């Protein structure tokens, strides 16, 4: 049984309604800088820490007029027992991700986000911003944390609407990373500048004013003595003001980012005009004439890896699942078992579990409320009846979150037949807990706990280091937990190494976005593909020192990483390779 949540909650009332609304731990969703969010019966309740910052009733009434399905606008004013404003309600969107979670290419690969899906989301975002402008509003703080993406990638949602600027009501927040530092006031043009920064990162995985600057101006290369110690954004701000973006000839783009040449031509020209020339105008209305770049063939130049080709497949690899006996590759064109094509559509293989003895792979299709399980060795569908809120896999295991329970997908072999069941491993708060590959992270009214998942166990550990940290993505394997997110509007990545007694050490990587491709071998070596295209090998045991970096031109393609029988596999382009570090 997991640790119990604090009993503290709040009691509020809808304005004009004497019936109290009690909100406690089971309704708690998250806590941010402005307040706490709870949910009941499809309604979100935002309760402000500072009651003076609750938007005036007149502003809430004006925002209620933005009646578009994408906009989670305020509905009712909430007051406390003394009749003082306490917050407001809005529609609650349960099955969604923060938009920024789509920035890392590794996440998009893992979830099978295609170029067509990405462009659809960008178009929906663009049209929503245009609608806000047409109705007299400005978003101002148009950053990736103020939008949600539905988990089927069909649409976007605009949140934190109460911070928008309306006539007579100035904006209340603005993140440095999307601010137009060349303008003193806010306008539709500054909104489009912020939109450009966010969508450029969706296309490429890179902030347009990042990358390594190799020009003569030292102020654009590194920190100056006058920079504040707590201002890691100083260099980026100077580059934004000087127009030194990834389009500048002296800027080198990291290997992990998609090349700007892969952008749709009209959008590439718009970005260059905006970031380099300083012009401000709305984005293109279409994605016509996109440049298509075929996966590069795997060359064998001298480098840090010796590779053996296992499979040459059809289509670009999206996901790779391996165990001691089988490997399952999912590409844009199909699903392959040890290189043999199966009659299964790629979208139906989101995660894979392996049976305990014969190691038979079972694909999990979580697109519906009840996951569909398919034995990939026979094509048979396994009966299964648990409705799941979320599904995640790691190290050949699959976990499902259903309300306040986390279950392991248990596979039982009886002769040639397989049976599937759900084995409870942890109890969690239904709305405040989030399931990631190999880990559940939840905030119990501000106190953060992680549940490290392995086999049929869930080790719940209180981790104060994550208090106040908004988690966008995470992954746990064999005691190594990588968490990516932001605190105070600044991105960071934390790497925890846990011991058997639940103690840990931590490595911080400021400014890093997303969880990179990573792998922990049974031997206790952790492999992480760095943002610079190098493979980093470190001990997985806390307190252990030592590090080795492997440079190889093939790693610039950001391959998938997998392990089979202790060997490292790379999924690169349309091929699966076995790799050995020289």
Under DSSP, is residue 132 helix (H, G, I), strand (E, B) or coil? helix
pLDDT at 307 over 80: yes
* End-of-domain residue from the set 56, 71, 91: 91
Q: Is there a domain that residue 280 lies in?
A: no
Tens digit of each residue's pLDDT (9 = 90 or more) over 115-133: 889 999 999 999 999 999 9
Give the CA distances from residue 451 to residues 173, 259, 397, 428, 440, in Å, rounded to whole numbers and listed in that order.
Answer: 33, 37, 15, 9, 5
For residue range 398-437, what is the model confidence (pLDDT) as tens digits? Answer: 999 999 999 999 999 998 899 999 999 999 999 999 999 9
- How much of the chain, in percent, has pLDDT values that exceed 70? 95
Q: Are residues 100 and 85 in the same domain?
A: no
Do residues 50 and 86 lie in contact, with contact meaning Cβ atoms separated by under 8 Å? no
3 Cβ neighbours under 8 A, 6+ residues apart: 444, 449, 460, 462
393 shares a domain with 255: no
Is position 289 within any domain? no
Same domain, 368 and 485: yes
Question: What's 66's domain CATH number?
Answer: 3.30.200
Are 457 and 541 in a shared domain? Answer: yes
The pLDDT score that the predictor gives to residue 193 is: 96
Whether 8 has a pLDDT exceeding 70, the answer reads: no
| H or E element at residue 443 | strand 439-444
- Give 288's pLDDT tier (boundaries 50, 70, 90): low
Residues 261 and 326 placed together within one structural domain of the fold: no
Structure tokens at 427: 């109890």
Domain containing residue 381? 305-581
Return the pLDDT at 421: 95
Q: Which of 91, 110, 140 is the last residue of a domain?
A: 91
State whether 67 and 145 are in the same domain.
no
Q: Under a CB-based contact definition with an 8 Å cutoff, are residues 142 and 191 in contact?
A: yes
472 with 430, same domain: the answer is yes
| 25-83: pLDDT as tens digits | 889 998 877 888 999 999 999 999 888 889 899 999 999 889 899 999 999 999 999 99
Our count of domains for the chain comes to 3
**Looking at the structure, do residues 105 and 67 belong to the same domain, yes or no?**
no
Instruction: Please report the pLDDT score of residue 478 as a whole number.
Output: 94
Secondary structure in 3-state letters for 493-549 = EEEEEECCCCCEEEEEEECCCCCCCEEECCCCEEEEECCCCCEEEEECCCCCCCCEE
Q: Same structural domain for residues 351 and 256?
A: no
178 and 238 co-located in one domain = yes
Does a structural domain hold residue 341?
A: yes
**Confidence class of residue 94 from pLDDT cuts 50, 70 and 90?**
confident
pLDDT of residue 444: 85
Q: Domain for residue 498, yes or no?
A: yes
Same domain, 344 and 471: yes
Residue 188 lies in a domain: yes
Residues 299 and 286: their CA atoms lie apart, in Å, by 36
Q: Please give the average per-residue pLDDT across 86-104, as a whole number.
A: 91
For residues 203 and 222, which has the higher predicted lDDT (pLDDT)? 203
In a domain, 338, yes or no: yes
Average pLDDT over residues 74-101: 92
Tell me whether residue 501 is in a domain: yes
Q: Which of 41, 63, 91 is the last residue of a domain?
A: 91
Distance of CA 303 to the CA centre of its chain: 32
What the block records as the tokens of 124 is 């929906």
Same-domain status, 389 and 419:
yes
More reliable by pLDDT, 130 or 556:
130
Residue 348 lies in a domain: yes
Query: Average pLDDT, stretch 381-409?
Result: 94
- pLDDT of amino acid 227: 79
CATH number for the domain spanning 325: value is: 2.130.10
């Amino acid at each position: 049984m997991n640790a119990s949540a604090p009993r503290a909650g709040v009691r509020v009332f809808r304005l004009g309604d004497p019936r109290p609304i009690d909100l406690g731990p089971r309704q708690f969703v998250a806590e941010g800088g402005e307040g706490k969010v709870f949910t009941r019966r499809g309604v979100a309740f935002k309760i402000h820490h500072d009651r003076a910052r609750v938007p005036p009733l007149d502003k809430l009434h004006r925002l209620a007029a933005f009646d578009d399905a994408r906009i989670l606008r305020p509905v009712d004013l909430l007051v406390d027992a003394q009749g003082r404003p306490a917050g407001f309600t809005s529609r609650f969107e349960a099955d969604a991700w923060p938009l920024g979670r789509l920035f890392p290419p590794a996440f998009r690969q893992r979830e099978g986000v295609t170029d067509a899906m990405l462009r659809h989301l960008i178009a929906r975002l663009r049209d929503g911003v245009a609608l806000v402008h047409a109705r007299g509003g400005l978003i101002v703080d148009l950053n990736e944390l103020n939008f949600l993406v539905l988990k089927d990638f069909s649409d976007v949602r605009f949140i934190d609407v109460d911070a928008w600027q309306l006539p007579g009501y100035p904006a209340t927040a603005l993140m440095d990373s999307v601010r137009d530092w060349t303008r003193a006031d806010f306008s539709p043009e500054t909104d489009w500048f912020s939109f450009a920064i966010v969508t450029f990162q969706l296309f490429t995985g890179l902030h347009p004013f990042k990358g390594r600057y190799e020009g003569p101006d030292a102020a654009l290369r590194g920190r100056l003595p006058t920079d504040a110690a707590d201002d890691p954004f100083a260099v980026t701000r100077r580059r934004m003001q000087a127009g030194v973006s990834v389009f500048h000839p002296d800027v080198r783009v990291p290997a992990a980012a998609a090349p700007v040449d892969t952008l749709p031509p009209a959008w590439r020209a718009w970005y260059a005009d905006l970031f380099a020339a300083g012009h401000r105008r709305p984005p293109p209305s279409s994605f016509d004439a996109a440049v298509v770049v075929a996966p590069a063939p795997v060359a064998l130049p001298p480098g840090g890896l010796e590779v053996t080709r296992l499979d040459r497949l059809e289509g670009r690899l999206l996901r790779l699942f391996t165990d001691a006996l089988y490997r399952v590759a999912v590409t844009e064109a199909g699903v392959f078992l040890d290189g043999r094509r199966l009659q299964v559509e790629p979208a139906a293989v989101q995660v894979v579990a392996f049976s305990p003895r014969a190691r038979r792979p079972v694909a999990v299709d979580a697109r519906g409320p009840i996951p569909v399980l398919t034995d990939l060795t026979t094509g048979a569908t396994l009966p299964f009846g648990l409705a799941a809120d979320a599904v995640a896999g790691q190290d050949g295991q699959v976990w499902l979150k259903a309300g306040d329970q986390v279950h392991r997908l248990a596979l039982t072999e009886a002769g040639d037949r397989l049976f599937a069941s759900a084995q409870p491993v942890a109890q969690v708060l239904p709305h405040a807990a989030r399931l990631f590959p190999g880990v559940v992270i939840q905030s119990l009214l501000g106190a953060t706990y992680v549940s490290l998942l392995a086999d049929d166990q869930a080790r719940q550990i209180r981790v104060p280091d994550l208090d106040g940290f908004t988690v966008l993505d995470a992954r746990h394997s064999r005691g190594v937990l990588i968490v990516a997110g932001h605190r105070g509007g600044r991105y960071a990545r934390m790497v925890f190494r846990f011991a058997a007694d639940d103690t840990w050490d931590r490595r911080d990587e400021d400014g890093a976005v997303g969880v990179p491709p990573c792998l922990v071998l049974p031997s206790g070596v952790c492999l992480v593909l760095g943002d610079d295209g190098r493979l980093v090998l470190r001990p997985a045991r806390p307190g252990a020192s030592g590090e080795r970096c492997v440079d190889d031109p093939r790693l610039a393609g950001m391959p998938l990483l997998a392990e089979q029988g202790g060997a490292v596999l790379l999924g690169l382009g349309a091929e699966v390779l076995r790799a050995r570090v020289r």
